[in-house]
Amino acid sequence: MSIESTNPATGDVVDSFEETSDEERDDHLERATETFEEWSETPIETRQRLLARAADVLRESEDEYAELMTEEMGKPIGQAHAEVEKCAWVCDYYAETAAEHLQDEVVASDERARTVVAHQPIGPVLAIMPWNFPFWQVFRFAAPNLAAGNVGLLKHASNVPGCARAIEDVFERAGFPEGAFTSLLISSGEIDAVIEDDRVRAVTLTGSDGAGRAVAESAGSQLKKTVLELGGSDPFVVLEDAPMEETVETAVQARLINNGQSCIAAKRFIVVDDVYDEFVDRFVDEMDAQTVGDPMDDETDIGPQAREDLMADLHEQVEETIEQGGELELGGEPMDRDGAFYPPTVITDVPENAPADQEELFGPVATVFRVPDEDAAIEKANDTRFGLGASVWTEDLERGERVAREFESGLAFVNELVKSDPRLPFGGVKDSGYGRELSRQGIREFVNTKTIWVQRDAGDEPDMVE
């Protein structure tokens, strides 16, 4: 059976790929297990050197990979280039820091014992990844886990099979052993069988909270660890002393990045009454000024939604919100052109419990809420089942940090849009998932944190440390 990828801007077929058969899937799992035995014993310096080479491969073929992403899921080409570079950055980061993050820790305990905490790889890890950042989401899993000595199995989204194959090719070209990173072109219905396979030791998923619950249930029944990075409905809080020009400019970027299809995009703009009218007027004008068009054109700000059905779901949420009393300030209708294009949309006066108040809107739709003061802004920001990112805008940085600490989120930014950075842990709370990716915390998620106790003879003198 073949899998086709379709360009959402044109409806044209980009390419077709043969689905991984049951026999091939079993062969890949067996090969991954065999490779792990070798890879886990490979000196970490060698693993780091190969990661650095993967970064080189990404940069050498940046144009090819960027165009592939844009063709398969529609992101503007400039953002696709930036995504390839960010993948190279995360490879560079762990090429430089993995050994430091994983080095043994000597812990003082019994005076007659030497006690050490070691961090050892656990085996093949299944990564279930989404289409919205088809390279970055994979590399932020792959780089730390390959550096740690694990091997990776990728089940990518069905609409980006070309990206899945290309990522596998990056590691092959970089010199990683066969089986260190394998792409499985399988359906969602086959995921449970892979999770339940004894050769798979852990699972990570980036996707919807519904998918996260299903994967966590399957993995939990097998006592396998999971890391879940799920959806978000990030608040963007504007206080009365916010630097308005910078705030509005960043607000538009924070909502529309990746055609609005980002889990950490600002989605709920919560504005105190003193500056509400000014913010809305300027925000609507700036959203309206964005260029919607061919994502291969460098002048385009917003390309198509990744699939027609996703755009239809988004439009249904907008329609229901308006029917319940929301005020449409801009956009709100699919564009009359070929492709899955939805315009920048702004809704105000959103009723409680409307879709735009309770659900994640995964597209270029912004909702603006009026609140009387800072306390009400914090309360509204936290009034969601999600808890991924949040930002606050104010001239007073001490005030900003204090408010940031009040957010129920895994990430909190002051006067900056929410973003991921290889040097910092990434992840959420509540229905946005658990566990962390990136940084020291990320590379230690899928390792055996092992205590080693070496007891000395009674006559031995303990080591003296000056």
Task: Give the active site residues.
Answer: 229, 263
User: How far is residue 405's CA from residue 173's CA, in Å, rounded to a whole number?
Assistant: 44
User: How far is residue 176's CA from residue 182's CA, in Å, rounded to a whole number?
Assistant: 11
Q: Concatenated DSSP letters for 338-389?
A: SSS----EEEESPPTTSHHHHS---SSEEEEEEESSHHHHHHHHH-SSEES-
Q: Which helix (H) or strand (E) holds 80?
A: helix 77-102
Amino acid at 199: R
Amino acid at 357: D
Q: Are 454 and 115 in contact (CB under 8 A)?
A: yes
User: How far is residue 399's CA from residue 409's CA, in Å, rounded to a whole number?
Assistant: 17
Residue 289: both structure tokens together: 């000024």
User: How far is residue 458's CA from residue 465's CA, in Å, rounded to a whole number?
Assistant: 19
Q: What is the 3-state secondary structure (H, E, C) of 373-442?
A: CHHHHHHHHHCCCEECCCEEECCCHHHHHHHHHHCCCCCCEECCCCCCCCCCCECCEECCEECCECHHHH
Q: Are 136 and 87 in contact (CB under 8 A)?
A: yes
Q: How far is CA 247 from CA 282, 391, 393, in A?
A: 10, 11, 7
Phi, psi of 140 (to 5 degrees): -75, -15
User: How far is residue 228's CA from residue 352's CA, in Å, rounded to a whole number?
Assistant: 28
User: How far is residue 39's CA from residue 26's CA, in Å, rounded to a whole number?
Assistant: 20
Q: Are 48 and 150 in contact (CB under 8 A)?
A: no
Query: Residue holding tokens 């249930």?
Result: 217
- Give the number of residues written for the chain: 466
